[in-house]
Amino acid sequence: MDLLRQLKNLTLRKKILIAIGLMFICLVLFLYTISRIILLRNFAELEEQNTRLDVKRALAALFNEVSILDSINSDWAGWDDTYTFIIDLNKDYINTNMVDDTFTTLKLNFMIFINSSGKIAFSKGFDLNKEEEIPIPEKLKEHLYKDSLLVRHPDTKSKVAGIVLLPKAPLLISSRPILTSKDEGPIRGTLIMGRYLDSNEIESLARITQLPLTVFRYNDSEVPPDFQMVHSLLSEKSPIIVQPLNKHSIGGYALIKDIYGNPALILRVNKPRQIYNQGKSLIVYFILLFLAVGLVFALTTILILEKLVVSRIVQLSKDIMGITSNRDFSKRIAISGKDELSNLAKEINNLLETLERSLKERSENANKLEKAYRELKETQDQLIKSAKMASIGTLAAGVSHEINNPLNIILGFCQLLLDEVEPDSDIFKDLKKIEKHTRNCKRIVENLLQFARKSEMQMEEININKVVQDALDLVRTQFLLQNIEIRERLNPDIPSIKGDYNQLQQVFLNLFNNAGQAMPQGGVLTVETNYIDNEDKVSIQISDTGEGIKKEDLPYIFDPFFTTRSHMGGTGLGLSVSQGIIESHQGEIFCKSNHVEEKGEGSSGTTFTVILPVKSSIK
């Protein structure tokens, strides 16, 4: 209020400067906000798309390694020498093929030959880093029992390839049935090849993809915070997640499953946020350019206003102040030109002439006004007495005419007075209160008349879903502001009904408004329609998560003039009118509610159910 008073006391020149400055600042802030919302969002989406592609590229490289390993295994398992070796375990095969160079060339850590009885016939492990033979891990042997996924192959086309988690490191693994060189059976066993997905293998994948890659176990508790954050987000439906790590980098995460379909690894691709940061720089350059252009435009506007408007208004103000201070209404104002200001000066001169004549007539009319006032007062007293007597009869004859007309006059004059006074004045606030309560009175009268009047129904074939959706459209914006979520469960297969579209929409709108008033802090409004086949009726359920209706109030909610929201302007007629409309359609309406006094005592809310027959006649 103090700031507004200070602004009112400023000169017109200063007000114009402040107004232009504020408009310019608001426009800059608006453009900056819009550009950040639209442009940065697009840059962020593009950045996310590129990161997703890089994650998919990294996954493709990883599974390509698995595919190469499986292809190597296929060549060895489908070979006559292997087919013979699994039976006789001849030394020549071992000395010729199971040498260290074979493991180094094929980049293998393990080769395990399993016979048809499910037992390991021969195996060899090799450390590619130290280039020395190592034993087969016991944890790997636990996966190699007779009917396990890796050992049992139901036919010659069977194969298993993927990842198995071992304590040392994840293992890229392939399992193939041992066949002849023509890939024919019978199957004599299984050949398993494995390669550790260790740091060297991950670095190799990073060089191939030209991407910084990091891999952690899915159930590893000692992972970086960013892995912990996406751990719960990765799923079957969302196998790839992209999250900004900070202002300078962004991470793409992928869930990798083992051969059993269980989550095994989380792969991360870390990239610099070049696209996003370029977008931010572009917005800064755009705002700076707009500032420069805007300043030039603002200065030009101020100079033009000063020359054509402000200086002339100042002169006009000085002339009027001189006339009022001297109380010499015979003087006139002179402003050159043929624009609005010169026309204003002419109108002021006309006003001065009228005022001068009025002052002369004032003394002559004083006695006449005093006499007229006495006569008017007497007439007014008589009219008041007559009105009191007549109001009793006229109220019964027509409440609309006798109440609505005075209310319209009060509202009309109130609106005229609102146009004449300053919006910041106390009078303006009082007039706004008059306007508010006058409108409230009109609404009460209209509700009373609507309750008493039985209007003619316009029956037609209507889709109840459309009536509900049209009514929801009328409150959707208000509910969004109240933080109320609307959940629509409208059955698209329900049949059309016979009814009055406008009256049914009025019922649903009233129920929606009641639900909105019951959820002042936000909540959920659920609207559901269904077809009751055995009764040939449709049902409409409207549920809210509001405060609910007290048990002792439930029997009276459809009674005329009963309301629990009188402090909010409720008249207690809405549900009575709604019940009358539904019953006129040969339908029924009922309510279930759970009222909770304190938080934590259970869920609260109200459900109104409307039942309407498909084939209805006017009741």
CATH number of the domain that residue 473 is part of: 3.30.565.10
Residue type, 614: V
Q: What is the mean pLDDT of residues 320-327?
A: 76
- Considering the domain architecture, whether residues 415 and 521 belong to the same structural domain is answered as no
Question: Considering the entire predicted model, what is its pTM?
Answer: 0.46
**Quick one: CA torsion of 37, 43, 45, 48, rounded to 10 degrees?**
-140
- Considering the domain architecture, whether residues 482 and 548 belong to the same structural domain is answered as yes
State the pLDDT confidence band at 19, using cuts at 50, 70 and 90. Answer: confident
Block residue for tokens 């996003």: 276
Q: What is the mean pLDDT of residues 65-84?
A: 93
Closest-CA residue to 500 (of 452, 539, 546, 460): 460
Residue 81 CA to residue 188 CA, distance in Å, equals 12
CA distances from 46 to 40, 42, 275, 472 (A): 10, 6, 8, 36
State the pLDDT confidence band at 396, using cuts at 50, 70 and 90. Answer: very low
pLDDT of residue 338: 73
Q: Which residue has the higher pLDDT, 600 or 541?
A: 541
pLDDT of residue 544: 93
Lowest mean pLDDT among 135-144, 443-452, 480-489: 443-452
pLDDT of residue 576: 82
- Considering the domain architecture, whether residues 423 and 567 belong to the same structural domain is answered as no
Residue 533 CA to residue 109 CA, distance in Å, equals 68
pLDDT of residue 550: 87
CA distances from 206 to 49, 230, 269, 491 (A): 20, 22, 9, 53
* pLDDT of 394 higher than 50: no
What lies within 8 Å, CB to CB, of 187 at 6+ separation is 116, 153, 155, 156, 177, 178, 179
Q: What is the mean pLDDT of residues 525-554?
A: 91
pLDDT of residue 63: 92
State the pLDDT confidence band at 402, using cuts at 50, 70 and 90. Answer: low
Residue 479 CA to residue 557 CA, distance in Å, equals 23
State the pLDDT confidence band at 525, using cuts at 50, 70 and 90. Answer: very high
In a domain, 413, yes or no: yes
Q: What is the mean pLDDT of residues 519-523?
A: 90
Q: What is the mean pLDDT of residues 561-566?
A: 70
CA distances from 93 to 120, 135, 187, 453, 493 (A): 16, 20, 19, 104, 72
* pLDDT of 411 higher than 60: yes
In a domain, 391, yes or no: no
pLDDT of residue 451: 54
In a domain, 550, yes or no: yes
Q: What is the mean pLDDT of residues 541-560?
A: 87
Structure tokens at 327: 């109380």
* pLDDT of 390 higher than 50: no
- Considering the domain architecture, whether residues 465 and 602 belong to the same structural domain is answered as yes
Residue 509 near residue 474 (C-beta atoms within 8 A) = yes
- Considering the domain architecture, whether residues 499 and 581 belong to the same structural domain is answered as yes
Edge-to-edge strand ranges of the sheet holding 523-532: 484-490, 523-532, 537-544, 605-613, 588-594
Structure tokens at 302: 């101020």
Where a domain ends, among 412, 429, 452? 452
Residue 226 near residue 245 (C-beta atoms within 8 A) = yes
- Considering the domain architecture, whether residues 530 and 413 belong to the same structural domain is answered as no
Highest mean pLDDT (candidates 41-55, 121-135, 562-576): 121-135
- Considering the domain architecture, whether residues 531 and 434 belong to the same structural domain is answered as no
Percent of the chain whose predicted confidence (pLDDT) is above 70? 85
Q: How many domains, in total, are found in the chain?
A: 2
- Considering the domain architecture, whether residues 431 and 474 belong to the same structural domain is answered as no
C-alpha gyration radius of the chain: 43
pLDDT of residue 449: 59
Q: What is the mean pLDDT of residues 369-397?
A: 53
Residue 354 CA to residue 361 CA, distance in Å, equals 11
pLDDT of residue 382: 47
In a domain, 490, yes or no: yes
**Quick one: CA torsion of 512, 518, 524, 526, rounded to 10 degrees?**
-40
Q: Which helix (H) or strand (E) holds 31?
A: helix 12-35
Q: What is the mean pLDDT of residues 92-114?
A: 92
Q: Which helix (H) or strand (E) holds 163?
A: strand 160-165
Task: For residue range 598-607, list pLDDT tens digits in order.
Answer: 544 556 789 9
Domain, as residue range, for 423: 398-452
Residue 38 CA to residue 30 CA, distance in Å, equals 12
Residue 486 near residue 472 (C-beta atoms within 8 A) = yes
pLDDT of residue 387: 47
Lowest mean pLDDT among 80-89, 110-119, 256-265, 558-567: 558-567
Task: For residue range 329-366, list pLDDT tens digits in order.
Answer: 677 777 666 777 777 777 777 777 787 777 777 767 76
State the pLDDT confidence band at 310, using cuts at 50, 70 and 90. Answer: confident
In a domain, 491, yes or no: yes
In a domain, 176, yes or no: no
- Considering the domain architecture, whether residues 606 and 464 belong to the same structural domain is answered as yes
In a domain, 343, yes or no: no
Helix/strand/coil percent split, the chain, to 5: 55, 20, 25
State the pLDDT confidence band at 137, using cuts at 50, 70 and 90. Answer: very high
pLDDT of residue 393: 34
Where a domain ends, among 412, 433, 452? 452
- Considering the domain architecture, whether residues 414 and 482 belong to the same structural domain is answered as no
In a domain, 361, yes or no: no
Task: For residue range 213-232, list pLDDT tens digits in order.
Answer: 989 888 888 888 888 888 88
- Considering the domain architecture, whether residues 415 and 465 belong to the same structural domain is answered as no
Edge-to-edge strand ranges of the sheet holding 263-272: 213-217, 263-272, 249-257, 240-244
DSSP 247-297: SSEEEEEEEEE-TTS-EEEEEEEEEE-HHHHHHHHHHHHHHHHHHHHHHHH
Where a domain ends, among 452, 484, 517? 452
- Considering the domain architecture, whether residues 477 and 609 belong to the same structural domain is answered as yes
Q: What is the mean pLDDT of residues 149-167?
A: 92
pLDDT of residue 397: 38
* pLDDT of 113 higher than 90: yes
